[in-house]
Amino acid sequence: MGRLIPTAKGLAWFRKGHPWIFRNDLAKIQDAAPGSIVSLEEKNGKFLAQGFYSEHSKIAFRLVSRSQERIHLNFWKERVERAFHYREAVVEKTNAYRLIYGESDGIPSLIVDRYADHFVLQTLSQATEDLLDLFTKILLELFRPSSILLRNDLSVRELEGLPQEKKIIMGECPSRVQVFEGTIQYLVDLWKGQKTGAYLDQRENRAAASRFLRGRVLDAFCYHGLFALHAARHAAQVTGVDSSQEAIEQARENALLNGLANTEFRKENVFSFLKAEAEAGRHYDGIILDPPAFAKSKENVGGASRGYKELNLRAIRLLNPGGILVTSSCSYNLSESRFLEILRECERDLGATLKIIEKRGQSADHPILLSFPESHYLKCLFLEKIH
């Protein structure tokens, strides 16, 4: 087994509980094969932990175990089973959810999403790439899925020196799979859809938001229309807006699938649409903002903050008094405190008064590690415009 010895800074960082050690925080790398399990040790040889070693990535070490236990097939099988038992406890009224969420489930850099009996995997490091056959064997034994699709079409893999690819591992994966979420049904393209096919992390927020949304509702950045479909169960009229024609067509098909005639979906630039609606004097009783990540790095936070402020300003301006704003940020680099500050700035600039109804995050199948802030990225706020 290879050995890694951290610098004093790296050791202090590790003792705080974070599951990663960066390459520039290593004092020595000895006999560490790319993608292998290595031993993390102090300079005097005292054992600290075992974890994955990456040859190319800035993240050189990913924690697997703080003990010297043997890491073999049964070790990983137990971790997968534990992850599944947790989902059995927290996932309700759906057959589409995240089964394994990397570090949060003790299996660093592995993502497994389940859509009915079709599984989608992502291996985001050299180690999980090398262990793909083992994880496939475990999933087949425990769940007997109809298909397993590898969706490794992510740019982050380049940081590991790994190619982007999509391929079937086993079975036959249809072009689209029908799943359910609460009272709605929707279609997912596992081959081409965002992430592994759908935004599973907003599932609980979509259901919760529908309790508050009435009257005329706007779903901005609607993608496949899932917020809109939930809202349409109680709202009088729901309009979904997205810049992708493919997404709009899928949203329309999902509305038809659910027999929801009080929805419309439009291909528009959201910022331009909000501006045009204000100029036309139109207003809404509820607005949902679920934009893509504006801050993909710390360097982007300044520009992202301006983008989030402009977006929320335009939305709040369109809300009727008593109207509900459901606003999200999936940018890890933009903290919750900064997001709240942006909304306070909007309130002040507009002379409006906003009341927080709920502060929410990602769905429970995306668990957050206390010592791993990177696992907590989604912020979702329900606000009422008092005046």
Angle value at C-alpha 196, between 124 and 22, nearest 5 degrees? 20
Rounded Cα distance, 175 and 189, in Å: 6
Q: Is 380 marked active-site?
A: no
Rounded Cα distance, 170 and 145, in Å: 9
Residue 42 CA, chain-centre distance (Å), reads 35
The answer to whether residues 229 and 263 touch, using CB atoms and an 8 Å cutoff, is yes
> Which of the 8 DSSP states describes residue 115?
E
HSE value, Cβ hemisphere, 13 Å, CA-based, for 141: 13
Could you tell me the maximum CA-CA distance found in the chain, to the nearest angstrom? Answer: 72
Catalytic hit among 173, 330, 346, 380 = 330
Residue type at 205 in one-letter notation: N
Residue at token pair 């979904």: 240
The answer to whether residues 149 and 177 touch, using CB atoms and an 8 Å cutoff, is no
Q: Where are the alpha helices (DSSP H) in the chain?
A: 8-15, 73-90, 126-130, 132-143, 203-209, 226-231, 245-257, 270-279, 301-318, 336-350
Pairing of strands 379-385, 118-123: unpaired
Angle value at C-alpha 364, between 243 and 192, nearest 5 degrees? 35
Rounded Cα distance, 8 and 36, in Å: 24
- Enumerate residues 6+ apart whose C-beta is below 8 A from 92: none
Angle value at C-alpha 333, between 151 and 23, nearest 5 degrees? 70
Active site residues: 330
